[in-house]
Amino acid sequence: MIWSDFHRTKWNEATNYAWKNFTTPTVRRMFSFLTVLGKAALPRDKLKELTGLLQEMKTTYSLAKICRYDPRLRRLPSGDYDYDAEFEADDDNQIGCIPTLPLEPHLTQMMATSRDPEELRYLWRAWREAAGKPIRQKYLRFVQLSNEAARLNGFSDAGEYWRSDYEIDGFREEVEELWQKLSPLYQQLHAYVRAKLVEKYGEEVVPRRGPIPAHLLGNMWAQTWTNILDMTIPYPGRTSVDVTNALRIQGYSPLAMFRLAEEFFTSLGLEPMPQTFWQRSMIQKPTDREVVCHASAWDFCNGRDYRIKQCTEVNMEHLVTTHHEMGHIQYDLLYRNQPFIFRDGANPGFHEAVGDVLALSASTPRHLQSVGLLGNVDDSYETDINFLFAMALDKIAFLPFGYLMDQWRWEVFSGDTSSSNLNSRWWELRLGVQGVSPPVPRTEQDFDPGAKFHVPANVPYVRYFVSFVVQFQFHAELCKAAGHEGPLHRCDIYRSVKAGRLLRNVLSLGKSRPWTEALSVLTSGRTNKLDVEPILEYFGPLRTWLESQNRGELIGWRENEAIVLQVT
């Protein structure tokens, strides 16, 4: 009995009842979820086509590899690097190469550490040729079938189906409003980082008053900028919270990183990882087979079997990711006694926030010092600013990307964006919202969104934007419960059983109550809405510092200075 038959049977039973008139709220809530069949509403042949396309796109992404950058072999007479030689390898592959470099760990590492704009430009383009371009047509067909399934479930398109997970009318407007309140702080960070990159690479590479070329920000998608902390840190030579070296010098293994994260959860009185977790998780990239390396956490729905799949590298970024993934498992464990239909996050953003909330405490200089990963930490203003800046390269830099990914996809699902402007609309958003530009000209033959995991894998993305806002609401309330006094960014809830109890009370609800009620529980009735005040409070000192540093700089970017699109 394949899943969709099971689902269909349950669905048929559920729709036979006049459940909307039921008086018990919880039973009505159960039926409201049970009667949404999802993709299983498609006729069998179309369901088969849809799952086939999804598998093919995920395989393309996971197996994509590129050649090593080799400046010698492909110089044009002008001295420029001849990218096309790469992709015009003649039949006996003389000037071409054998693509051997996968995204993880190789390209991720190179994008993080290379300071050669030509190499970065090559890596940026070659990845999109290998991962994004090949799935453009498949994605368009996939969108058609996804919309058909959504309509069979009573939604206007797949985007409305996705947004229904947040259970409030006007969710789209809510997200837009949150972004409007956050973008001034982002623009301050963008202006400061751009000025530093101009210093490093010169104005020919980085326009002083324009968008930042996307290949220079330390990440394949320019979504987090922590890997260029070395070039941008406000007070070099003072305490820096990048403990990657300490992790390596102290011989940390991936397993030790997982144990360290688990101990933070248990210090709050929360659940340890079950035995099977340690036996069955895949925490390192295997050497004998190809796997999907993008991190994920799995609940096998039997109250016992929970696993993480992650190609862990020993560095600070992966220490944060480990907390993130373990946060998913912790949530799974806390709602395991709920009826099956309620075993889910109150909304998808809550699920993404759990691990990050603990990582906000675990990343503080004082906490890193207490676990021996940081030497003497002074309480100086400079150390504070260095720490807040490092956190902003992760949390503030991410906001526009977390916002624009599904703005683009919602427009594709609704038909506002079609095959004629698929890529150009992506770059309009990347330029207008994020202030980044492509390092090489883009055309409608390219499909750059397809080079980001969540598009071929069809994983919604606004959940991360919601998480990055709500995790600071959680942090503020848990710090209050822990009796913290002083600036929010210095709070460390480690070992606070009171904070743990509050978090347990909120997360154990699962999806049994609307997330607005879960927020009321978290804030003792103070609010039931997403609120940017806590994240703005947390970064308050940094904002003041940035505004003073940016005096005289253009805040924002002039759209006409970008090589936006040579659409052929």
Ligand X SMILES: O=C(CCC(O)(O)[C@H](Cc1ccccc1)NC(=O)c1ccccc1)N[C@@H](Cc1c[nH]c2ccccc12)C(=O)O
User: Helices 381-414 and 462-481, interaxial angle, to 10°?
Assistant: 140
- Does 295 participate in binding ligand X (rule CB under 6 A)? yes
Q: Three-class SS of residue 127? A: helix
- Does 318 participate in binding ligand X (rule CB under 6 A)? no
Q: Least distance from C-beta 542 to ligand X, angstroms?
A: 18
Report residue 556 CA to chain centroid gap: 23
Q: Considering CB distances under 5 to 8 angstroms, the limit depending on partner class, which of Zn ion, ligand X, none binds residue 459? A: ligand X
Closest to ligand X by CB, 347 or 386: 347
- Does 508 participate in binding ligand X (rule CB under 6 A)? no
Q: How far apart are CA 518 and CA 510, in angstroms?
A: 9
The counts of H helices and E strands in the chain are 23, 6
Binding residue (CB under 6 A) for ligand X from 51, 296, 338, 528: 296
Find, among 515, 533, 526, the residue nearest to 475 by Cα.
533
- Does 430 participate in binding ligand X (rule CB under 6 A)? no
Q: What is the CA radius of gyration of the chain?
A: 24
Cite the active site residues: 294-295, 324-325, 328, 352, 454, 464
Q: How far apart are CA 13 and CA 31, in angstroms?
A: 10
Binding residue (CB under 6 A) for ligand X from 157, 242, 262, 325: 325
Subset of residues 525 to 544 that bind ligand X, contact rule: CB under 6 A: none
- Does 242 participate in binding Zn ion (rule CB under 5 A)? no
Contact 325, 297 (CB under 8 A): yes
Q: Least distance from C-beta 417 to Zn ion, angstroms?
A: 26
Q: How far is CA 112 from CA 105, 169, 226, 251, 315, in A?
A: 11, 40, 9, 22, 12
In a 10 Å sphere around its CB, with 0-12 CB exposed, 13-18 middle and 19+ buried, how is residue 375 labelled?
exposed
Piece of the chain touching ligand X by CB under 6 A; list 97-105, 250-258, 270-278, 324-332: 324-332
Closest to ligand X by CB, 539 or 545: 539
Q: Considering CB distances under 5 to 8 angstroms, the limit depending on partner class, which of Zn ion, ligand X, none binds residue 224? A: ligand X
Q: Considering CB distances under 5 to 8 angstroms, the limit depending on partner class, which of Zn ion, ligand X, none binds residue 448? A: none
Closest to Zn ion by CB, 86 or 352: 352
- Does 464 participate in binding ligand X (rule CB under 6 A)? yes
Residues touching ligand X: how many (CB under 6 A)? 16
- Does 332 participate in binding Zn ion (rule CB under 5 A)? no
For 106, which DSSP code? I
Q: Least distance from C-beta 75 to ligand X, angstroms?
A: 35
- Does 338 participate in binding ligand X (rule CB under 6 A)? no
Q: Considering CB distances under 5 to 8 angstroms, the limit depending on partner class, which of ligand X, Zn ion, none binds residue 295? A: ligand X
Piece of the chain touching ligand X by CB under 6 A; list 21-29, 291-299, 424-432, 472-480: 291-299
Dihedral over Cα of 47, 52, 58, 60: its sign: negative
- Does 351 participate in binding ligand X (rule CB under 6 A)? yes
- Does 356 participate in binding Zn ion (rule CB under 5 A)? no
Structure-derived torsion over alpha carbons of residues 453, 459, 460, 461, reported in degrees to the nearest 10: -30
Closest to ligand X by CB, 455 or 562: 455
Q: How far is CA 221 from CA 253, 434, 537, in A?
A: 27, 11, 28
- Does 356 participate in binding ligand X (rule CB under 6 A)? yes
Q: Three-class SS of residue 272? A: coil
Q: What are phi and psi of 436, to 5 degrees?
A: -120, 155
Q: How far apart are CA 333 and CA 303, in angstroms?
A: 7
Dihedral over Cα of 127, 131, 134, 138: its sign: negative
User: Helices 497-507 and 316-334, interaxial angle, to 10°?
Assistant: 60
Find, among 129, 120, 143, 57, the residue nearest to 96 by Cα.
129
Binding residue (CB under 6 A) for ligand X from 459, 554, 563, 567: 459
Piece of the chain touching Zn ion by CB under 5 A; list 160-168, 247-255, 349-357, 557-565: 349-357
- Does 227 participate in binding ligand X (rule CB under 6 A)? no
- Does 328 participate in binding ligand X (rule CB under 6 A)? yes
Structure-derived torsion over alpha carbons of residues 78, 80, 86, 91, reported in degrees to the nearest 10: 10
Q: Considering CB distances under 5 to 8 angstroms, the limit depending on partner class, which of Zn ion, ligand X, none binds residue 296? A: ligand X
Q: Least distance from C-beta 554 to ligand X, angstroms?
A: 28
Contact 169, 175 (CB under 8 A): no
Binding residue (CB under 5 A) for Zn ion from 317, 352, 356, 448: 352
CB nearest ligand X: which residue?
296
Q: Considering CB distances under 5 to 8 angstroms, the limit depending on partner class, which of Zn ion, ligand X, none binds residue 531? A: none
Q: Least distance from C-beta 80 to ligand X, angstroms?
A: 32
Q: How far is CA 86 from CA 29, 76, 187, 280, in A?
A: 55, 12, 36, 41
What residue ranges bind Zn ion (CB under 5 A)? 352
What residue ranges bind ligand X (CB under 6 A)? 223-224, 294-297, 320, 324-325, 328, 351-352, 356, 457, 459, 464
